[in-house]
Amino acid sequence: MLVLGVNGGLSLEERNPGAALAIDGRIVAACEEERYSRILSAPGHFPLRSIRACLEVARVTFEDIALIVLPILDGDGQITAIRELFTAQFGSCPAIELVGKQVALAACAFYSSGLSESLVVSVARTTTGSFALLANATKEFGIRTIGSVPFPLAAHEYAPRPGRIPGVEGALWEALEGLRRVVPGARHLCIGGDLAFDGVSSFAIHRSNVFEAFFVSPLAGDRGLAIGSAYLGAAMLGHGKWQLWDTYLGSWYSDAEIRGALERSSGGFEVVDDPCLVAARMLASGMTVGWYQGRAEAGGRALGNRSILARPEGSRAPDRLAEPGDGSASGKIPARLAVLKEHAGDWVDVSREPSSPFMTLALPIRSENLAEFDPSAAEGAMWLHTVSSTGNELFYDLLYRYWRMTGLSGVVSGDLALEGRPLAETPEDALGVFRASGLDALLIGNCLVTKGGHGGA
């Protein structure tokens, strides 16, 4: 059975509206309205285009949906307005269920982790401040709320007791201590909501080895609401909840659509037999490359399908190494590196082999590698994206070819987007980024575009 999770469109305060579709408990599509409206965060927008995109990706119709779940409370009888809105847009409306925002964020973090049981800390902003939902979750019994406490999302908001750790990290440890008193012996932890932005504090928990398994939601902030709502709907219908193996859940554009966009553009392009080889050679020569392939990533971060790539050595080329929410409470902005998973330990200083397939941990750069990065961006830490052949075969192939050419197993990775704009969604968006930025080349599908109009790689 099909469940549609929907977030946004009912007030101007709601940001990052989107939709997610679950089929028998498996998330098969997740789309965000900002990608289609081209307005960052799309505040107050009803995610109509996102809903239609999810249906198109899954090749189903609105009539196939058994349940719609939204992360709001029905204090003002909003369910009637919601039903009327869906009926006006689609001609009918299935059953509707409403859930709490913090519970939806916790569900996104827990169910996407694949863990059978875990403690969950999920932080959400409200009109009265930021609060952390503390919960114990199991696949069998779902999300069991233990409490909700005020939680600082900036260092100056937290005044620790004498001898305590300052900042967000200290507040997180304090919340965990309270949780572990209620659930002694807990071995797993999931982090979600706005707390997922703070990769430095999250890594401190990871490094402590207090938990055998530690998972940070790949959809930080309100971006996880639609997926969390879809998971909760699946639970209501008695479905199992499938792990989120990757975030390549958005729209996909065919070769014909890509060629059409290129032919309508004013510049030329070249069809190449091996885009990975071409990109690897360009990166090895010091060029900055736009990489547009496959389905769009859900969430606010490119993970190898809508990316800007550059050689790390002394690199200042990517326009956007980090997003505003990428820093820790200290204000430091880590660099971003996509690296072959089996070589991740070559770049970061950790005691155990890191696994960060969603780029959710900010890890300390090995001292011998600090000189390779723009010091204004690196600040001694990096967001790490560990790439495996099973997670993204095409991107892995590119990195592998580059490693064989250069001996470097990672590339600096930014978002294929202009400052203040969402990730490129359509081929036309990708071309717009290419023309308005410092990119040397764009590989879009199996087509190469360069500033000179042709490839010549």
E strand or H helix at 50, and its extent? helix 48-58
> Distance between CA 41 and CA 32 in Å, rounded?
9
The continuous run of DSSP H or E covering 214 comes out as strand 213-216
Domain residue spans in the chain?
A: 2-100+225-236, 102-223, 255-450
pLDDT band at 76 (very low <50, low <70, confident <90, very high): low
- The two counts, helices (H) then strands (E), for the chain are 12, 19
Gap between the Cα atoms of 29 and 193, Å rounded:
20
- Residue 354 · residue 361 · CB < 8 Å: yes
Parallel, antiparallel, or unpaired for β 26-32 and 410-415? unpaired
Q: Name the band, by pLDDT with cuts 50, 70 and 90, for residue 315.
A: very low
Q: In CATH, which of 3.30.420.40, 3.40.1190.20, 3.40.50.300, 3.30.70.360 is domain 102-223?
A: 3.30.420.40
Q: How confident is the model at residue 362 (pLDDT cuts 50, 70, 90)?
A: confident
Q: Where are the beta strands (DSSP E) in 55-200?
A: 65-70, 95-98, 117-126, 129-138, 142-150, 188-193
Rounded Cα distance between 300 and 117, Å, is: 27
SS3 label, residue 158: coil
38: buried, middle or exposed (CB in 10 Å: 19+, 13-18, 0-12)?
Answer: middle
Query: What are 214-265's pLDDT values in tens digits?
Result: 899 999 889 999 999 999 999 999 999 999 999 999 999 999 999 999 999 9
Residues 255-450, CATH architecture: Alpha-Beta Complex (3.90)
Q: What is the pLDDT of residues 434-457, one digit of tens each?
A: 999 989 999 999 999 998 754 444
Least confident of 111-115, 328-332, 411-415: 328-332
Neighbours of 176 (CB within 10 A): 19
This prediction's pTM = 0.91
Fold designation for 2-100+225-236: Nucleotidyltransferase; domain 5 (3.30.420)
